[in-house]
Amino acid sequence: MQGVDAAWLPDGAFRPIGTRRTLIRGSGPLVDTVHGEVAQACVRFGGNVSRDGSPGPYDLVLELTGDGRDSGDGGEAFTFERGDGRTTVTASGGPGLLYGFFHVVRLGDAAFRGTCERAYHRPELALRMLDHWDNVAVHPVMGQVERGYAGGSLFWADGRARAELLGRVRAYARLLAACGINAVAVNNVNVHEAEARLLTDRIGEVADIAGVLRPYGIRTHLSVTFAAPMVLGGLSTADPLDEGVREWWAETTSRVYEAIPDFGGYVVKADSEGQPGPFAYGRSHADGANMLAAALTASDSGYGGTVHWRAFVYDHRQDWRDRTTDRARAAYDHFVPLDGKFADNAVLQVKHGPMDFQVREPVSPLIGAMPRTRLAVELQATQEYTGQQRHVCWLGPMWSEVLRFRVDGVSPVGELARGGLVAVSNVGDDPFWTGHPLAQANLYTFGRLAWQPDADPGGILDEWIRLTFGVFEAFGAEPAAGLHAIMDGSWRTYEKYTAPLGVGFMVQPGHHYGPSVDGYEYSPWGTYHFADRDGVGVDRSCTTGTGYAGQYAKPWAEVYESPGTCPDELLLFFHHVSYGHILHSGKTVIQHMYDTHFEGVEEVEATMEVWASLADSVDPARHARVTERLEEQLRSAREWRDQINSYFFRKSGVPDAHGRRIH
């Protein structure tokens, strides 16, 4: 991988395998991938690899024991054991052998020391997917990658597939497989004209990308416009109950599968933020999703595709003066009445919070409210509202809180996500993949949590640090601890100097970077904080507000209903309170705002000091890029601090108890 930052797969990570004797048993495309990986490592480090029945002895055996068809785990599970001087990985399917191989890579030398009883590893979620919001052609407003902060698209350039960079796509597939991701949607959910044509006359370009992803067990998905029969097929309607429309989708999907036999399915944003959908024909979301689901499982084909229907549907032309309309309610109100009406291969893709990937918001009440519908939970690895990969903001703790949240006091989100876990990708063609080298940790953490939603995020972070930095001798225990400290508290640090107590947004309109307290306050987007001279926050109680709190199951409906029981970190999301309201912490709301914004800046300053101390332990290019981003983070944090504190000082008239300067 010359010329690019190899994230968590630097050459040194393969040394423990590359110096040993390895036997690989089995056949198939993914077994060939494993063999190629081991062979390359052996060339670099002096070991050797044999196939099938060659005589031993061996330090490592990687063995395929079946075809994975009847294993009940999709062929993705594997076993690992160590004894009698040999490490053995077995799997019933090619994907499992590939994941077992990367498990050995993660363990490093530890995989070849001591003994380990046979352990069974399988992913908790069958689908672990990244959605790329990539545009084929550069959009005049959205650019090359909508909400992308790491350069241009990996897949597209100058209006076509990047054939000259398919080697980089292969390296990307390798990175994704290393952390367990098995599906990728290769274009923007907002489907423009160029992207629409990928479904028909440009499907060959998608097939080329799929061919590069396939050897690493990754299925390709495509975002499509609901209006495709009109845009591409010349029909006069896109009514999902129209027989001509259904036939068009069936025939088009058949041609997709001719080009991509293992095609994963469609991603659809419909009747959302101006995108076309079934509402135009008096039809429901279930009608629309089921029409596509039928095309993806034609009875004589056995395609096995899935439609991911996004639940991000709300009124984006709201009257800011009307406090009865609440954007947070929208997904629940739209979709709960449709529970049980979606086809088996239709997955409702739900953002983890009810608004839009804010630094702090409650778990969406839609999760757990539709027991007869397959739900996928959508996260955002690209940091649209959390620093846009110019700020260190490791999201593992946030995502872990979401996945462990028990929606009814019993069932955690990670178990309810039967349709899988999806993240908006944070990768581009930047030499460091994610623009900010430390943002790579978000991509890795997503994959590992998608494999095991209840995993310890701190352990995953240590794993990423060791794989990314620890293979270099100069990076010892002390630098690793320093880097862990920088990353582990970064989400809460970002929260401290930006939006307090769950109030959300307060960002510059459009690009969403930097503070603008009233930027969306009088807009049609439904993103309000309602700050006035007496208080701040949105009343979402059932007693006096929008009733949103009542969408939750017990005990959360009761917890969120009252300011006295609502968690401090979500208080302003659920309640409008006075500046003198006493939090559970013992502070007033206004003093909490002042204190956290000063603390946030101080923590960024401390982060810069720790990173500076690692200069001799990190390669110069990577250290310089992170230093550059930290300087911008500090500038931005000071701007957030001064604007937020000044705004609320002028609104409330309450001075800082510690006498610090507020403009």
Task: List residues with catalytic annotation.
Answer: 273, 356, 384
What token pair was written down for 338? 């449709």
What token pair was written down for 168? 């980089």
What token pair was written down for 23? 């036997």
What token pair was written down for 662? 């507020």
Helix H segments across 57-131?
94-107
Say if strands 86-91 and 134-139 run parallel, antiparallel, or are unpaired.
unpaired
Contact predicate 182/217, CB 8 Å: yes
HSE (side-chain half, CA atoms, 13 Å) at 372? 10
Residues present in the chain in total:
663
Q: How far is CA 194 from CA 138, 160, 190, in A?
A: 10, 9, 11
Buried b (16+ CB within 10 A) or exposed e, 573-607: bbbbbebebebeeebbbbbbbbbbbbebbebbeeb
Which helix (H) or strand (E) segment is 498 a member of?
A: none
> Any idea what the Cα angle at residue 312 is, between residues 426 and 328, rounded to 5°?
110
As a whole number of angstroms, the distance between CA 198 and CA 207 comes to 10
User: How many C-beta neighbours within 10 Å does residue 628 have?
Assistant: 12
> 181 CB contacts (<8 Å, ≥6 apart)?
128, 129, 130, 218, 446, 447, 450
As a whole number of angstroms, the distance between CA 160 and CA 240 comes to 30
As a whole number of angstroms, the distance between CA 168 and CA 495 comes to 34
Sign of the Cα torsion 90, 94, 100, 104 reads positive
Residues linked to residue 219 through DSSP beta bridges, in sequence order? 183
Tell me how far the alpha carbon of residue 34 is from its chain's centroid: 26
DSSP 137: E
As a whole number of angstroms, the distance between CA 186 and CA 264 comes to 11
Contacts 24+ apart (CB under 8 A), 205-212: 205/160, 205/161, 206/161, 206/259, 206/260, 207/259, 207/260, 208/161, 208/163, 208/166, 209/155, 209/161, 209/166, 209/169, 210/260, 210/262, 210/263, 212/166, 212/169, 212/170, 212/173
As a whole number of angstroms, the distance between CA 425 and CA 106 comes to 22
Residues linked to residue 265 through DSSP beta bridges, in sequence order? 221, 306
- Helix 166-178 and helix 203-213: axis angle, to 10°? 50
Task: Give the per-residue SS3 of 258-311.
Answer: HHCCCCCEEEECCCCCCCCCHHHHCCCHHHHHHHHHHHHCCCCCCCCCEEEEEC
Amino acid present at 593: M
